[in-house]
Amino acid sequence: MYAIVDAASLEGRRKLIAQELGAVAIRLNRFDNQPGQEGKEHDESRSGQEEIYIPVEGSGCIRIGEEEVPLEPGRFVLVTPDESRQVVAGPDGLAYVIVGAVVDPR
């Protein structure tokens, strides 16, 4: 069994890719931010989910705590559940994918 979804066929800023594919264990979303658009500042301490941010188009930064980490295609950024994070698109906008999973408490 396999599934295919074309992100261009999905509307809105947040695209629930894994859900559209019918994935059960994988959490993966794509976000398409307009130039200068700021995402929601948040952490994942309640969900226990760590996240990998993967820029695919444009550029911007991710604010992690007090630091700003540049985002551009080819860079992968892991953020642990307890860290505050906020994505900010650059002047040309930013498209990025987030892959998340709950940290095993073992």
CB 73 within 8 A of CB 3: no
27-102 in CATH: which number? 2.60.120.10
Which residue(s) pair with 35 in the sheet?
A: none
For residues 73-99, average pLDDT: 97
Kind of pairing between the strands at 27-33 and 77-79? unpaired
What local confidence, expressed as pLDDT, does residue 106 receive? 66
Mean pLDDT for the chain overall: 93
Residue 101 pLDDT greater than 80, yes or no = yes
pTM for this entry: 0.88
CB 43 within 8 A of CB 64: no
For residue 10, give the 3-state DSSP assignment: coil
Residue 30 pLDDT greater than 90, yes or no = yes
